[in-house]
Structure 1
Amino acid sequence: MKAKEVVKFITEIAPHEKGVPNDGQSGWKFGDPEREVDAVAVCWSPTLNVIERCVSLGVNLLICHEPLTFQAYNGPWFKEKPSQEKEVNLKRLELLKRHQICVYGSHSNWDVKERIGVADTLGELLGFKKVVAKGFCTRVYKVRPTTLKSLARRVKRKLGLERVLVIGESERKFTKVGTAIGGLGQMFTFPEELHNLGAEVGIFGEMLEYTRRYAVELGLSIIEAGHSTTEMPGLKNLTEEIRRRFPELRVYFLENIIPWSYI
């Protein structure tokens, strides 16, 4: 089995054309597409920890959702090394090269994959059934009247979180809940997408402070659950699709651990 055959299957069920145009996070990232593989891993971010686990498991092909390397900012605020000289990048690439592990990125094409992709899976996992509006990567659901506090508790329980960031009145009731996966909240004015779709509260992945403040002034309540946390459920579905299609391969989902805590 060649690495390119596994990738061909992914792009058949989730074509790149369905995702963001010219999405640089999707496509071949490292290694030879002709490489023979017998073990595949799927992850959210191809961190050094994930790559080390690939080595331990004998993985030949790593399917990742986020970028393999960090790009140079090239701005006026600080002096930095170019991308090809960054220590973090070099450590990752050296380990991949030494163990001949191929890397392929499946990003926005899997975000928008119907039913089992990242966007739809989050809502399903949270128990939302009735979609009343949708954007490219956003959804708005009609729910029974529920308070912000109750909804936050549901998000924590379903996503296995100890805490979530909440903005709004805890006892205010809602009937329209929006979801914005991953890093969409890194765009300052993104809350207006959910607001314009009719959401009263938005469940976000990762948000900047600017984005939170924009939501406040829109009157949109917020539950912030984390970038990786809101995307990994959909990537587990990708793992299962590969496992079903290629029963002869060993297929793993490698969860990204959270390497920080709060004091």
Structure 2
Amino acid sequence: MAHRDEVLQLLNSKLESGRVRDYCPNGLQVEGKAQIRKLITGVTASQALLDRAVAEQADAVLVHHGYFWKSEASEITGMKKRRLQTLLQHDINLFAYHLPLDIHPELGNNAQLGALLGFSDISALPSVEPVGVVRQTQLSTALSLTDIVARLQQQLQRPVFAHDAGIGDIRHIAWCTGGGQGYIDAAAAAGAQLFISGEVSEQTIHSANELGIHFIAAGHHATERYGVKALGEWLAAQTGIEVQFVDLYNPA
């Protein structure tokens, strides 16, 4: 068991959340009970995840995608009202970390996806801010696009979308989890032969063809499962809190 303020301080310190400008507040988004015995982690603070937290009698939820985005309506109605009502009625804390969890060199989504795929010598692409939102590696042995697709599908346990730009085998790979497909231009400028992200847009394929870079969209949810899971495991080791990762199915 740990106090809510101790948990918040540990998370903020580990992720250095104060140094990142973001599209939402990072940290404690909804205040619940002071003492935390059990915490649920998941990618998004959806109603299904909150209902699971209630069923598990959790005192807190830790996610990558929380609430209060700059572009969202400010009214507390409908789906937003029901989600907040669930948290407040059951006195559940909601912690959320967006970009700080993407860029962390150890626990971040990008770092964790690279480790899952067996990449070594991972570094940040320095041309993209905040540093760490795109990561890269140089393979010691060139692989085909087919080889990398097979590895991704095996590790993520889902099909992925791959676009072959016709440039042959791959040594230099760059990636950004989630909705990072727009960074394909920066990856190509850095010399990457493959860019991996979670989603694909119509213009992504044009960039891949015209810049000569393979592209894979492996799923927004699928590529961002591992940061929050690793962060929860780290928090459990620091505090003794019972932490349970809940992977709700999402094909996107």
**Residue matched to 2:6:** 5
TM-score by length of 2: 0.88
Q: Which string of whole-angstrom CA distances, capped at 9 and with x for unpartnered residues, describes residues 84-134 of structure 1?
A: 244211121111111111111112112221222211111111011133662
How far apart, in 2, do the equivalents of 1:94 and 1:165 lie?
38
How far apart, in 1, do the equivalents of 2:165 and 2:222 lie?
24
Letter paired with 1:256: L
Question: What is the SS of the residue equivalent to 2:216?
Answer: strand
**Residue matched to 2:157:** 160
How far apart, in 2, do the equivalents of 1:133 and 1:55 lie?
38
TM-score by length of 1: 0.85
Aligned-pair CA distance for 1:141: 1.3
Aligned-pair CA distance for 1:169: 5.1
Letter paired with 2:164: G
Could you say what the CA RMSD is over the residues aligned between the two structures, in angstroms? 2.2
Question: What is the SS of the residue equivalent to 2:101?
Answer: helix
Paired residues of 1:152 and 1:164 also in contact (CA < 8 A): yes
Query: Which ranges of structure 1 fall in alignment gaps of 5 or more residues?
Result: 74-81
Distance of aligned partners of 1:116 and 1:209 in 2 relative to their CA distance in 1, 3 Å threshold: same
Letter paired with 2:4: A
Q: Which string of whole-angstrom CA distances, capped at 9 and with x for unpartnered residues, describes residues 8-56 of structure 1?
A: 11112111134x3244241321124x62221112211001110000001
Paired residues of 1:25 and 1:65 also in contact (CA < 8 A): no
Question: What is the SS of the residue equivalent to 1:183?
Answer: coil
Question: What is the SS of the residue equivalent to 1:130?
Answer: coil
How far apart, in 2, do the equivalents of 1:114 and 1:132 lie?
8
**Residue matched to 2:144:** 147
How far apart, in 2, do the equivalents of 1:99 and 1:207 lie?
38
Aligned-pair CA distance for 1:201: 0.7
Q: Which string of whole-angstrom CA distances, capped at 9 and with x for unpartnered residues, describes residues 221-242 of structure 1?
A: 1011011211111221101101
Question: What is the SS of the residue equivalent to 2:138?
Answer: strand
Distance of aligned partners of 1:120 and 1:152 in 2 relative to their CA distance in 1, 3 Å threshold: same
1:96 to 75, 87, 91: 87
Distance of aligned partners of 1:133 and 1:103 in 2 relative to their CA distance in 1, 3 Å threshold: closer
The runs of at least 4 consecutive aligned structure 1 residues that moved more than 3 Å come to 69-73
How far apart, in 1, do the equivalents of 2:233 and 2:219 lie?
23
Paired residues of 2:22 and 2:98 also in contact (CA < 8 A): no
Distance of aligned partners of 1:49 and 1:149 in 2 relative to their CA distance in 1, 3 Å threshold: same
Question: What is the SS of the residue equivalent to 2:75?
Answer: helix
**Residue matched to 1:63:** 62
